[in-house]
A = this chain, B = another copy of it.
Amino acid sequence: MPVLQPIVTIAELLYKKGISDVVVSPGSRSAPLTLAVARHPHLRTRVMADERSACFVALGMALQSGRTVAVICTSGSAVYNQAPAVAEAFFGQTPLLLLTADRPHEWLHQQDGQTINQVGIFGTHVKRSYDLPADYSHPDAHWFIERTLNEAITLSQLSPAGPVHINVPVREPFYPAADESFMYGPVRIIDVCAAQPTLAPETWHGLLQEWERSERTLIAVGQIPRDPALLAILRKLSEEIGIPIVGEIVGNIPQNDLFITRTDTFLAGIDERTAHSLRPDLLLTIGNSFLTRNLKTFLRQYPAHRHWHIQPAIDRINDSFQSLTTLIPAEPLAFLEKLFADVDYQRFLQGDDDDDTHEYLNLWRTVDRKAARLVEKMLLSEPETLTDWSAVQVVLEHLPENSLLHLANSMPVRYANLCGVSERQQISVSANRGVSGIDGCLSTAVGAALMTDQLVTVLIGDVAFFYDRNALWSAPIPPNLRIILLNNDSGHIFRIIDGPSRQPELETYFETPHGYTARNTAQDAKLTYTVCDSLDVLRSLLPDFFHPGNTAKLLELTTDKLANQNQFMAYKAQIASLHNTTA
């Protein structure tokens, strides 16, 4: 048996526990792990040199597939380069398995290279951190390694999913002899049965009573992957029972005749009378974080009397609107379907299923439609100028049906939320909203594109793009990737938000203009590159841009920061008068 057989066994354990994909960054200490997964007949491995990008790519792969992706890196600061993606995976509840090669612990603080304190290095940003033994002579070591891999992979997938860290100290020699072949089995697999949280009948009954008592019930949907069944039950709840459904682009709530998606516009500077009329008795939330600050502020300033949050497993008390009364362990879809069925039956028994006026819903729909008209009018007022916002609007309209959209942080995700996508397009939207950093958005999109044949479009600003351009280095870029870069030569958000735009330090200390275009980056990465600075040209380019092809494509949209600012300021001035004109 090879000295490092337990390392070879790890690869087989990954496979047998359902992991199919591994992202590897090169290194010598990690070589046994790398070779073990590379030679495994069923694992797909991809290699990327920059560990920061590599780990965000793995995150994108896990987001897209819903399955745990393993990441291998060598010892030392390599590990710390993964930390930004690990934090995003933790707060974004994305399953990763981090296998970090290490020196045996006795070498820590002995001035050896690439040796840092890797035990528990990710702190509270992993669900658990393990440390494997460096010596395998005692049979319990093998038992420990097998058991740990079983537990770690299971744990990464248990709700809330997230990253799990296994530190792997490795002794030399790292490389097998020429005549040594790897043996991949058998391994011990410990099955962990799946179970759904089920509420006791009396608990359910109590909840139903509370629901019935509420005259104004609001459902708000945080970030959640696209699910047609979930959209269907939300539509029923709104259409048939008159519940307003408030959602955002990152919650995969599309624009249609029913859903309330323009909260960012109509809740800005809302007058007290309207706010009180919209205030719910009962607020029911599903999904993770909300993007829209104005929605969060509204729900904190005009809190619901009762707030239920439904999530599959209870871990912490997340009280982001400061009004939570009830945390309900349930799958949102199953919960809402049962709720609808029971409420609908109750209404049938009472014979009151037809005479609802849906007053509360109509209040929300009225302000939402008004906001829609305002945004539309504003975008039409300067139909010729390519601004970040108008570009996003046009791009979203042209997205191919059934494609994927990854929204980079800072302004793109906000503009996209102001615009929305139509229900017809059936777009699956993702964004790194666990921590909301700009650091790995491009890599995440690359990872998502690697796991699907569908087209993946990433909408990204220039700072996020150049920050993370190593996403495009040292790995094959999937041909179904479409990058749309909004290049206004600055961290544009600082010119849009109130505080920094008033400071004399705005440009030097916040926007940090760089003068870069993406032409060279695209050339180095062998992307099909187009640059555009006109809205008309953009419209004419997009059909071809979204056409499938053999290489990934980058479309750089050059916008002017002052034009962007003027448009946004004009919008702000108009929303300030939105509710006045109501009165």
Contact = CB atoms under 8 A, between A and B. Distances in A.
A512 B112 contact: no
**Which of A48, A76, A514 gathers most chain B CB within 10 Å?**
A76
Contacts of A500: 28, 31, 175
Q: How large is the interface on A (under 10, 10 to 19, 20 to 34, 35 or more residues)?
A: 35 or more
B110 A318 contact: yes
Nearest to A433: B113
Contacts of A503: 31, 35, 175-176
A309 to B, nearest CB: 10
Q: How many copies does the complex hold?
A: 2
A491 interface: yes
A77 B81 contact: no
A402 interface: no
Contacts of A121: 123
Given A435-B76, A436-B114, A514-B473, A52 B52 contact: yes
Interface string A171-203: 001111010000000000000000000000000
Interface stretch (A13-21, A209-217, A377-385, A516-524): A516-524
B290 A111 contact: yes
Given A28-B500, A467-B49, A437 B76 contact: yes
Contact of A87 (B116, B320, B474): B116
A331 interface: no
Contacts of A512: 26, 47-49, 474
**Which of A439, A509, A516 gathers most chain B CB within 10 Å?**
A509
Contacts of A112: 289, 320
A439 B436 CA distance: 24
B28 A439 contact: no
Contacts of A474: 466, 512, 514
Contacts of A109: 316, 318
A83 interface: yes
A87 B76 contact: yes
A319 B112 CA distance: 11
B502 A175 contact: yes
A288 interface: yes
A125 B83 CA distance: 14
Interface string A96-123: 0000000000000111111111001101
A197 to B, nearest CB: 20
A550 interface: no
Contacts of A516: 473, 524
A497 interface: yes
Contacts of A110: 318-320
A318 B433 CA distance: 43
Nearest to A514: B474
**Which of A83, A176, A320 gathers most chain B CB within 10 Å?**
A83
Interface string A152-178: 000000000000000000000111101
B114 A437 contact: yes
A417 interface: no
A50 interface: yes
A87 B77 contact: yes
Nearest to A25: B512
A355 interface: no
Contacts of A491: 26, 49
Interface in A222-243: 222
Contacts of A288: 111
Contact of A499 (B28, B88, B125): B28
A469 B516 CA distance: 13
Given A111-B288, A467-B470, A38 B123 contact: no
Interface string A265-293: 00000000000000000000000111000
B437 A78 contact: yes
B81 A52 contact: yes
Given A175-B499, A497-B28, A116 B111 contact: no
A84 interface: yes
A509 B36 CA distance: 11
Contacts of A521: 520, 524
Given A78-B437, A80-B83, A111-B318, 10 more contacts: A28-B499, A31-B499, A34-B509, A49-B467, A77-B83, A77-B87, A80-B86, A117-B125, A473-B516, A520-B520
6 contacts: A26-B491, A113-B433, A175-B502, A178-B502, A473-B516, A520-B524
- A-B interface, 4 closest residue pairs, ranked by CB to CB distance from nearest: A175-B499, A520-B520, A113-B436, A111-B289
